[in-house]
């Protein structure tokens, strides 16, 4: 039993990481209609910056996190500014998608140039060590990731549902034109959304760095899984995206215990394609989809 | 005479412990970084395209070796260590009088971890008539491209033995192979060490890539002669959740584990940490990278029962390399298998040049090629030497580095 608890906990904690990156993708898409293929690289950037501050310069991990978050915000804002000329063009979703693919390559190259090629570990946020839960060993950083992701999701929910800024963001997501007519600064809101999504990814990368290590390429795997979660959520359902990310991570972990573990990506993507064939609009509820 | 190392990297990477050249699977996993290298071409160029070690002198008095390795890009993690060793060979040799008084010079070209760039810079090297021999490439595809240039330009080219398959290699005239590191020797040594702890059933934990799979296959091949039972737990390379596979390995209840070919000391350390954190008390062989401080950072302090390659300790090296290893350490390098591989490549070509000088022939590509043909084992490189926590007093393997082109395999352990 302890074995399976350990497997599920490992899955859930990685799921917290996937969840934050996937939600970053989701709010970015909802708010700007841009599929940001550089989202995973922002997570890698956050992880490497966090490692540099804590592992190299011996910063306090909490202080480092306070630097990583605005750095992710700034990187997201920069990406949005670079995308802005393409947003009003025809087939903008395709154009901006291609541009973000290019930016993904550029960010990876820049991370490698600045931080090097090796996998690196940031310092644990609440110290090393582990706890025992029902006989299973749980690394403290696992708990940090899960709690951190939960707090972020809660904060995002409260922001979007119970604040004036959230109302503006949702209005902009529903209709950018309508928002502009009533005086909302669409460009400013879109920049904020983009930067917010990037902040989530950067923080996710920092949180996972002490547990899994980070390198300049580590954003790719999380991007793939996050995209699956995003598409399963019909691109716009935050709840389905978040739950989907965690479920996918647990499925990955459980698959790892079987002989199919070697082919986990094949199995996951196969199931993903099957799910889309059956339900092309994603698996979000009608109610959620109606909110689009 | 104190030896300095003038051409070391300035980015602090000298201290990096090389891990696994088999990690080149990473390059195939992700072509994106290669493309990124193009986007950051300016930076890549700044990383160095050409440098010389060992001083100059006229072309008549210099043994100029052209080298094509990865200074930038994903393979730089391996290339830079090989380059360090190669440069150090030149520095060290020149500081000790050169080759019969002739200085050694390395003309280094960065292939940016891209085979086609490697081919281009190889052509640049061969266009320089003062270059008498070449070496380079971490990947088979690039080695083949470089060998084609070498064959066309009739210049000796020393590749890594793992980079050129027999079927291709045997048809070549100017291309040679060097076995700078031996997976087989390493696997054998660590299995022997684990066996010495009383283990009979060993589970190998490895990523499913071009480095992990051959290592596991080697362990399986060696199992009958060592009287061991080998089982394997593999996982997709680059997986975010290797801890699950550690749990799975523990479920196999082996007498010992072999953590093989994780791409970096960090990943190796995380695997070992996961095994220990989940209650595995058995000995763990972790031969590649466990001597790195980064490994210890990943495992946390107090990890015990881990058997690893301590070849980076200069005093643990076979006699020919003790002085070199000590000098490397003094120069701020951390000797490792890649570094010694680079050193041995230089030494092999240098030995050919010495034959030419001793015969009082002019140093040309043709004479160097003829001399390389006569060499059988120009240099030796250390195999796995010392394991902890129980030291082997004797080197377990001293691997001949150089293979004659005529097909006689002289590589003893692999």
Query: In terms of CA atoms, which chain A residue is nearest residue B47?
Result: A113
Class of residue B151 by CB neighbours under 10 A (exposed 0-12, middle 13-18, buried 19+): middle
Nearest by CB to A262, which of B33, B236, B263? B236
Per-residue pLDDT at B228 exceeds 60: yes
Flag whether residue A212 sits within 8 Å of chain B, measured between CB atoms.
yes
CA B138 – CA B85 distance, rounded (Å): 14
Flag whether residue A106 sits within 8 Å of chain B, measured between CB atoms.
yes
Q: Is B33 close to A221, i.e. CB distance below 8 A?
A: no
User: Taking residues B326-353, what's their average pLDDT?
Assistant: 83
Flag whether residue A51 sits within 8 Å of chain B, measured between CB atoms.
no
Radius of gyration of chain A (CA): 19
Single pTM value for the model: 0.68
User: How close does chain A come to B241, measured CA to CA in Å?
Assistant: 7
Least confident of B209-213, B256-260, B313-317: B313-317
Task: Report CA-CA distances (Å) from A68 to A72, A151, A202, B117, B167.
Answer: 6, 17, 7, 36, 52
Nearest by CB to B247, which of A6, A119, A264? A6
CA B262 – CA B241 distance, rounded (Å): 13
Task: Report CA-CA distances (Å) from A89 to A85, A92, A173, B43, B363.
Answer: 8, 5, 18, 32, 64
In the predicted model, what is the mean pLDDT of chain B?
Answer: 72
* Residues from chain B contacting residue A256 (CB–CB below 8 Å): 235, 239, 241, 244-245, 248
Residue B69 near residue B160 (C-beta atoms within 8 A) = no
Per-residue pLDDT at B295 exceeds 90: no
Query: In terms of CA atoms, which chain A residue is nearest residue B26?
Result: A217
Query: In terms of CA atoms, which chain B residue is nearest residue A263?
Result: B236
Query: In terms of CA atoms, which chain A residue is nearest residue B262?
Result: A119
pLDDT at B53: 37
pLDDT at A276: 80
* Residues from chain A contacting residue B37 (CB–CB below 8 Å): 109
Class of residue A75 by CB neighbours under 10 A (exposed 0-12, middle 13-18, buried 19+): buried
* Residues from chain B contacting residue A257 (CB–CB below 8 Å): 244, 247-248
Q: Is A109 close to B278, i.e. CB distance below 8 A?
A: no
Beta-strand relationship, B175-178 and B201-208: unpaired
User: pLDDT of B122-146, one tens digit each?
Assistant: 999 999 999 999 999 877 788 889 9
The residue with greater pLDDT, B236 or B92, is B92
Best of A18, A45, A112 to disrupt the B interface by mutation (most B CBs within 10 Å)?
A112
CA B317 – CA B336 distance, rounded (Å): 11
pLDDT at B162: 58
pLDDT at A176: 76
B118-141 per-residue burial string, b: 16 or more CB within 10 A, e: under 16: bbbbbeebbeeeebbbbbbbbbbe
Per-residue pLDDT at B16 exceeds 50: no
Per-residue pLDDT at B410 exceeds 60: no
pLDDT at B191: 85
Flag whether residue A137 sits within 8 Å of chain B, measured between CB atoms.
yes
User: How close does chain B come to A131, measured CA to CA in Å?
Assistant: 10
User: pLDDT of B157-187, one tens digit each?
Assistant: 988 755 566 667 777 888 887 766 556 667 7
Beta bridge partners of B68: B109, B136
pLDDT at B329: 82
Q: How confident is the model at residue B42 (pLDDT cuts 50, 70, 90)?
A: very low
User: Taking residues B304-315, what's their average pLDDT?
Assistant: 62
* Residues from chain A contacting residue B276 (CB–CB below 8 Å): none
Nearest by CB to A118, which of B37, B248, B266? B266
pLDDT at B75: 74
Longest CA–CA span in chain A (Å) reads 59
Q: Is B26 close to A217, i.e. CB distance below 8 A?
A: yes
pLDDT at B126: 96
Measured over the CA atoms of residue B286, residue B292, residue B294 and residue B297, the dihedral's sign is positive
Residue A190 near residue A32 (C-beta atoms within 8 A) = yes
In the predicted model, what is the mean pLDDT of chain A?
Answer: 86
Best of B26, B43, B244, B271 to disrupt the A interface by mutation (most A CBs within 10 Å)?
B244
Flag whether residue A178 sits within 8 Å of chain B, measured between CB atoms.
no
Flag whether residue A253 sits within 8 Å of chain B, measured between CB atoms.
yes
User: pLDDT of A251-271, one tens digit each?
Assistant: 988 988 888 877 888 888 888
Nearest by CB to B241, which of A11, A217, A263? A11
- Count H helices and E strands in chain B, helices first: 15, 14
Q: List phi, psi (to 5°) of A209.
A: -55, -45
Q: Which of B18-32, B49-63, B198-212 has the highest mean pLDDT?
A: B198-212
User: How close does chain A come to B368, measured CA to CA in Å?
Assistant: 36
pLDDT at A110: 93
* Residues from chain A contacting residue B13 (CB–CB below 8 Å): 116
User: How close does chain A come to B158, measured CA to CA in Å?
Assistant: 26
pLDDT at B31: 32
Per-residue pLDDT at B24 exceeds 70: no
**CA-closest candidate to residue B265, choices A118, A81, A226:** A118
Q: Is B244 close to A256, i.e. CB distance below 8 A?
A: yes
**pLDDT averaged over 10-residue windows placed end to end, chain A, 292 residues:** 85 92 90 90 96 91 96 95 82 84 93 84 83 82 90 88 87 80 83 93 94 88 88 80 90 86 82 81 56 48
Q: Is A262 close to B234, i.e. CB distance below 8 A?
A: yes
With tokens 């000088």, the residue in question is B357
* Residues from chain A contacting residue B234 (CB–CB below 8 Å): 262
pLDDT at A68: 97
CA B132 – CA B121 distance, rounded (Å): 15
* Residues from chain A contacting residue B251 (CB–CB below 8 Å): 3
CA B225 – CA B221 distance, rounded (Å): 8
């Amino acid at each position: 039993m302890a074995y399976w608890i350990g497997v599920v906990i490992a899955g859930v904690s990685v799921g917290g990481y996937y969840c934050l990156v996937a939600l970053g993708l989701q709010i970015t898409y909802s708010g700007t209609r841009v599929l940001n293929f550089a989202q995973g690289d922002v997570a890698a950037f956050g992880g490497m910056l966090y490692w540099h501050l804590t592992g190299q310069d011996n910063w306090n991990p909490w202080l480092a996190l306070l630097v990583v978050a605005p750095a992710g915000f700034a990187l997201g804002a920069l990406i949005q500014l670079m995308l802005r000329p393409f947003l009003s063009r025809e087939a903008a979703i395709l154009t901006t998608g291609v541009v973000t693919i290019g930016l993904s390559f550029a960010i990876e190259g820049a991370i490698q140039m600045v931080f090097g090629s090796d996998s690196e570990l940031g310092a644990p946020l609440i110290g090393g060590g582990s706890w025992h839960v029902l006989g299973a060993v749980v690394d403290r950083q696992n708990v940090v990731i899960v709690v951190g992701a939960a707090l972020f999701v809660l904060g995002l929910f409260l922001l979007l549902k119970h604040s004036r800024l959230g109302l503006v963001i949702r209005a902009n997501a529903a209709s950018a034109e309508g928002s502009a007519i009533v005086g909302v600064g669409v460009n400013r809101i879109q920049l904020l959304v983009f930067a917010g999504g990037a902040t989530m990814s950067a923080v996710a990368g920092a949180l996972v760095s002490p547990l899994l290590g980070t390198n300049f390429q580590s954003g790719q795997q999380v991007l793939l899984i996050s995209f699956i979660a995003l598409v399963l959520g019909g691109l716009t359902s935050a709840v389905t995206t978040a739950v989907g990310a965690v479920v996918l991570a647990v499925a990955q972990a459980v698959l790892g215990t079987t002989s199919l573990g070697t082919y986990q990506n094949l199995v996951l993507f196969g199931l993903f394609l099957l799910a889309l064939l059956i339900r092309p609009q994603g698996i979000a509820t009608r109610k959620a989809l109606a909110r689009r | 005479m104190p030896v300095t190392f003038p051409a070391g990297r300035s980015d602090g990477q000298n201290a990096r412990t090389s891990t696994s050249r088999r990690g080149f699977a990473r390059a195939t996993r992700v072509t994106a970084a290669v493309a990124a290298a193009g986007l950051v071409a300016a930076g890549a160029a700044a990383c160095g395209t050409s440098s010389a070690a060992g001083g100059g002198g006229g072309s008549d008095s210099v043994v100029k070796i052209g080298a094509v390795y990865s200074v930038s890009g994903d393979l730089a993690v391996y290339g830079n260590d090989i380059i360090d060793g190669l440069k150090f060979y030149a520095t060290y040799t020149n500081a000790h009088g050169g080759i019969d008084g002739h200085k050694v010079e390395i003309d280094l070209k960065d292939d940016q971890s891209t085979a086609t760039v490697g081919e281009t810079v190889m052509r640049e090297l061969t266009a320089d008539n003062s270059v008498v021999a070449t070496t380079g490439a971490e990947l088979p595809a690039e080695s083949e491209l470089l060998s084609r240039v070498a064959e066309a330009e009739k210049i000796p080219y020393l590749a890594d033995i793992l980079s050129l398959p027999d079927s291709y290699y045997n048809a070549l005239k100017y291309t040679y192979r060097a076995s700078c590191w031996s997976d087989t020797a390493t696997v054998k040594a660590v299995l022997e060490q684990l066996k010495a702890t009383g283990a009979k059933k060993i589970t190998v934990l490895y990523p499913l890539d071009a480095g992990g799979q051959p290592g596991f296959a080697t362990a399986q091949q060696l199992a009958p002669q060592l009287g061991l039972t080998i089982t394997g737990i593999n996982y997709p390379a680059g997986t975010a959740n290797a801890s699950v596979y550690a749990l799975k390995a523990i479920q196999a209840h082996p007498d010992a584990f072999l953590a093989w070919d994780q791409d970096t000391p960090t990943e190796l350390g995380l695997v070992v940490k996961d095994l220990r954190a989940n209650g595995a008390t058995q000995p763990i062989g972790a031969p590649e990278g466990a001597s790195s401080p980064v490994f210890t950072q990943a495992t946390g302090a107090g990890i015990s029962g881990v058997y690893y390659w301590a070849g980076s300790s200069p005093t643990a090296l076979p006699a020919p390399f003790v002085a070199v290893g000590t000098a490397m350490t003094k120069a701020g390098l951390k000797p490792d298998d890649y570094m010694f591989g680079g050193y041995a490549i230089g030494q092999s070509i240098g030995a050919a040049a010495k034959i030419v000088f001793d015969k009082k022939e002019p140093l040309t590509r043709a004479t160097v090629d003829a001399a390389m043909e006569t060499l059988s084992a120009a240099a030796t490189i250390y195999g796995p030497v010392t394991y902890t926590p129980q030291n082997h007093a004797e080197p377990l393997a001293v691997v001949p580095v150089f293979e004659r082109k005529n097909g006689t395999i002289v590589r003893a352990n692999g």
